[in-house]
Amino acid sequence: MLTPRLDKTLWLFGFAVVSAFSSYAYGHSGALNQAALDVCQDKARSDACQYQGHHHDVYIGTCQYISDEDLMCVRNKPIQIIQPEKHDHAHPTH
Q: What is the pLDDT of residues 37-76, one digit of tens each?
A: 999 999 999 999 999 988 889 999 999 999 999 999 999 9
pTM, rounded to two decimals: 0.57
**Per-residue pLDDT at 21:** 45
Diameter of the chain by CA atoms?
Answer: 92
Dist CA 28 CA 25 (whole Å): 5
Q: How far apart are CA 49 and CA 37, in angstroms?
A: 10
Q: What's the Cα-to-Cα distance from 46 to each of 56, 62, 90, rounded to whole Å?
A: 25, 5, 47
> CB count, 10 Å around CB of 63?
23
